[in-house]
A and B are shown apart, each in its own frame.
Chain A
Amino acid sequence: MYAFNYHRPSSLDDAAKKAAEADDGKLLAGGMSLLPSMKLRLSAPSDLVDLAAVDGLKGISVSGKTVTIGAMTRHVEVQTSAEVQKAIPALAALAGGIGDPSVRNRGTIGGSLAHSDPSACYPSAVLGLGATVETNKRKIAGDDFFVGLFETALEPDEIIKAVHFPVPDAAGYEKFPQPASGFAMVGAFVSCTGKDVRVAITGAKDHVFRVPEMEKALAANFSADAIASIALPADDMMSDIHCSAEYRAHLVTVIAKRAVAKAAG
């Protein structure tokens, strides 16, 4: 990778300051996406601001009907948290399916969301549960967070502090993993709370999106059969060596049905 200046601030304000002062700085969380990208020279920040020493960004807490996860909480911690397993088991299962055990010992939810890989799992949970992303500046609704390819609503010196997940009545996550990387070729996070249904798809387009047609059908009948005949057009779906856009479109329905079955059963 190309050379850079390394900073290890011990406060959030200092981290924001260092990020703002850099020519082309990046925040470093677990590094499981950023460092591989830098090793391949796909990114070359002038400065890395390591968040490891900043207090107050880790931890999981459940209060009433909200699960709050600190931005620097690692995937293994969400996966093995008794509290998350009880409140939103689909979220713990999602975290447990990211990468591999060694990657889960380092990767973080904040890093995943800020990086916003089109095939990442966590964005579908944020959109699929209607979570709120709390930063050092404001709270951003999940529906407004994911904007484009590797693009979020975050400003350059904005740092995720925590993610607040509302506890649903039921939820399910399913992905068709790319066999080597484990990334979601297509992933679906489905939840229902009362009559409110959310269906969030990752891996198919350049960022996560909801499927209003499926949400409407499921609100009337929360079962896999209810969405079996809903097919999305392949036009704006991704095509790559792993999967054509047409196959992705086909997978969306298959995977969404499986996610519904998980949530319902």
Chain B
Amino acid sequence: MSTKVTMTVNGKQVSAEVEPRTLLVQYLRDHIGLTGTHVGCDTSQCGCCNVHLNGEAIKSCTILAVQAEGADVTTIEGLAAADGELHPMQKAFWEHHGLQCGFCTPGMVMVGCDIARRKPDADEKAIRHELEGNICRCTGYEHIVEAIHDGIRAMNRR
């Protein structure tokens, strides 16, 4: 039994007919065509699916699309400016080589932005703690933490 689900994604209103059991990550990837948000696990642990819902980082694999009816969603695709200029957090990941395969990266960047919102004075130790919900199999986290630290400082300066 499908139902029409409408929400704002990256500033644009979108709609799709989906079953209630459709996860938000599936809605974004399969119905809206935004495949930057990734599915990395079955257990809500990996964090690759992080998006911002009404300004807060949440795991889009653990929420139904219908629960986000009328909400304001930002995905990784929504961070860069209209003219393509990278968001400070994205820039920081580029400058610090905060990725290898890139699979966890959208989730890391979205959570990095959420850390900046909640803890603009986070140090390296705090950032590592805040990344407990994000798993990376490639990097060993060093450059991810440096990137987020730098990205937070750049966001503070904006």
| A→B interface (CB under 8 Å) | 1-6, 8, 28, 31-32, 35-36, 38-40, 48, 50, 52, 99-103, 105-106, 180-182
Chain A nearest CB, measured from B130 CB (Å): 6
Q: What are the nearest 5 A-B pairs in CB distance?
A: A100-B133, A6-B20, A100-B132, A105-B56, A102-B57
> Is B43 in contact with A5, judged by CB distance below 8 angstroms?
no
| B→A interface (CB under 8 Å) | 1, 3, 19-21, 23, 42-45, 47, 50, 53, 56-59, 61-64, 66-67, 69, 111, 114-115, 118, 130, 132-134
Given known A-B contacts A32-B62, A182-B132, A5 and B20 have beta carbons under 8 A apart = yes
Give every chain A residue within 8 A of B59 (Cβ-Cβ): 102-103, 106
Quick one: closest B residue to A180, CB to CB? B45
> Is A2 in contact with B21, judged by CB distance below 8 angstroms?
yes
Q: Which of A32, A35, A182 contacts B64 (CB 8 A)?
A: A35
Give every chain A residue within 8 A of B43 (Cβ-Cβ): 36, 181
- Report the bound CA distance from A100 to B62 in whole Å: 13
Given known A-B contacts A1-B21, A182-B132, A106 and B63 have beta carbons under 8 A apart = yes
- Report the bound CA distance from A103 to B42 in whole Å: 15
- Report the bound CA distance from A32 to B61 in whole Å: 10
Give every chain A residue within 8 A of B69 (Cβ-Cβ): 8
A sample of 26 cross-chain residue pairs with beta-carbon separation below 8 angstroms, ordered by A number, consists of A3-B1, A3-B21, A5-B1, A6-B66, A31-B64, A32-B62, A35-B44, A35-B64, A39-B42, A50-B66, A99-B133, A100-B47, A100-B133, A100-B134, A101-B111, A101-B114, A101-B115, A102-B47, A102-B114, A103-B44, A103-B133, A105-B58, A106-B62, A106-B63, A180-B45, A181-B43
Most buried by B among A32, A52, A100: A100
Q: Which of A6, A31, A38, A180 contacts B3 (CB 8 A)?
A: A6
- Report the bound CA distance from A4 to B20 in whole Å: 7
Quick one: closest B residue to A6, CB to CB? B20
User: What total of A-B pairs shows CB separation below 8 Å?
Assistant: 79
- Report the bound CA distance from A50 to B66 in whole Å: 10
Quick one: closest A residue to B45, CB to CB? A180
> Is A31 in contact with B63, judged by CB distance below 8 angstroms?
yes
> Is A40 in contact with B1, judged by CB distance below 8 angstroms?
no
Q: Which of B1, B62, B114, B132 contacts A35 (CB 8 A)?
A: B62
- Report the bound CA distance from A100 to B57 in whole Å: 11
Quick one: closest A residue to B114, CB to CB? A101
Give every chain B residue within 8 A of A1 (Cβ-Cβ): 21
- Report the bound CA distance from A224 to B42 in whole Å: 40
> Is A102 in contact with B45, judged by CB distance below 8 angstroms?
no
Give every chain A residue within 8 A of B118 (Cβ-Cβ): 101
Quick one: closest B residue to A80, CB to CB? B118
> Is A101 in contact with B133, judged by CB distance below 8 angstroms?
yes
Other than A8-B69, A52-B67, give 5 A-B pairs with Cβ distance below 8 A.
Answer: A3-B20, A101-B114, A101-B118, A101-B132, A102-B47
> Is B21 in contact with A102, judged by CB distance below 8 angstroms?
no
Q: Which of A3, A52, A181 contacts B19 (CB 8 A)?
A: A3
Q: Which of A3, A36, A101 contacts B62 (CB 8 A)?
A: A36
Chain B nearest CB, measured from A182 CB (Å): 7
> Is A102 in contact with B133, judged by CB distance below 8 angstroms?
yes
